[in-house]
Structure 1
Amino acid sequence: MPRPTKWRRVTFIPEITFFKPAGIPLRHLDEVRLSIEEAEAIRLKDLEGLEQEECAQKMRISRPTFHRVLGSAHAKLADALINGKAIRIEGGNFGMAIQRFRCGNDSQEWDVPFEKMVAGQPQVCPQCDSPNVHPVRAPGFGFTGGGRRRRTGRRW
């Protein structure tokens, strides 16, 4: 049985998710389905002009995996453009990038989607309107006590 596909981190979901050639009724068209993570790969590499290593880091996948996702997306787009097919963007294995914040007064925590973070981080707590707001570190960052264990001569 193959391993399940890991979720990819996505920071943008397009508002327009369907494209078709002009002048051809939809009932006469074949359709190509582009996953959300394939659209994100194209956006990062082709639209923003980032290097593959940077793109892979942003999506939290390996560089070879990013290369495969991008290659699949390019092949689907080429098929749709050359053969006159409609393009639908939907589905896939992805999670939206969010940032968690905590109020220093009442310890209230809330999530802010990436789209809102572009404008800047929240200035006040939505519960008590306190300006004492701080981002919460994501798991896996900072000191966690992990690392290589040293043998102390005892058997475990």
Structure 2
Amino acid sequence: MARPVKWRRVEKLPEFRYFVPSDVEGDIRENVLKIEELEAIRLRDLENLEQEECAKNMEISRQTFQRIYNEAKRKVADSLINGKAIKISGGNYTQHICKLVCKNCGNSWQERMEDIEYEDDTCPKCGSSKNYCNEKNKVKRCKKNCSERKAMCSRKK
């Protein structure tokens, strides 16, 4: 069985998601740039962070960050040189990762905050809804009753 792909944490979702060369007519070929690929470019080139800092921000290994970054650069270069559009879409990303622990059975698991219903975040092992966020002393991370999580879940309703 293949190992599941780890979520890549992104700080900002793009405001603009499609770029087209101005001089191309007819059918335009396009490259699809994943959200995490755009985040890698933003961190490394716009924020000017080192590879290790970028990987830490995205909560992935340095090697994984480098693979994502290299693929993003290849797609952007192909679009610029060959007159292709860039569509920013998809990927395996999250803005917040919640590390939950069940008070009933002690099971721990991770959830993308975007996947959690505030009143219905049940333990995958025993089904109990008595759980809490195990994140401690981390800024901008979920806590069981944090305002970020409440705001995210209220938007889903």
> Normalising by structure 2, what TM-score?
0.62
The SS at the match of 1:14 is: coil
Q: Between Structure 1 and Structure 2, how many residues are aligned?
A: 107
The worse-fitting range, judged by mean Cα deviation, of 3-12 and 92-101 is: 92-101
Q: Deviations over 1:60-85 (max 9, x none)?
A: 00000000000000001011110000
Residue 111, structure 1, aligned to residue 148, structure 2 = yes
* Residue aligning to 2:134: none
Question: Aligned ranges for residues 1-150 of structure 1 at < 5 Å?
Answer: 1-25=1-25, 27-97=26-96, 98-100=140-142, 109-111=146-148
Per-residue deviation at 1:111? 1.5
Q: Distance in 2 between matches of 1:69 and 1:110?
A: 31
Identity of aligned residues (%): 50
Amino acid in structure 2 at the alignment position of 1:16: F
Task: State how far apart, in whole Å, the 2-side matches of 1:2 and 1:101 are.
Answer: 31
> SS of the counterpart of 2:148?
strand
> How big is the alpha-carbon RMSD for the aligned residues of Structure 1 and Structure 2?
2.0
CA contact (8 A) 2:24 2:83 kept: no
CA distance in 2, matches of 1:80, 1:44: 20
How far apart, in 1, do the equivalents of 2:76 and 2:148 lie?
Answer: 34
Instruction: State the distance in 2 between where 1:6 and 1:53 align.
Output: 17
Structure-2 separation of matches of 1:18 and 1:81: 14
How big is each residue's C-alpha offset from its partner over 1:41-73, in whole Å with a ceiling of 9 and x where there is no partner? 000000000000000000000000000000000
Structure label with greater radius of gyration:
1
Question: Structure 2 regions of 5+ residues with no counterpart?
Answer: 97-139, 151-157
Contact kept in structure 1, 2:32 and 2:89, CA below 8 Å: yes
The alpha-carbon deviation at position 100 of structure 1 amounts to 3.7
Letter in 1 for 2:23: G
Cα distance, 1:9–1:28 mapped onto 2, change above 3 Å? same
Distance between the aligned counterparts of 2:149 and 2:33, measured in 1?
A: 27
Runs (4+) off by over 4 Å = none
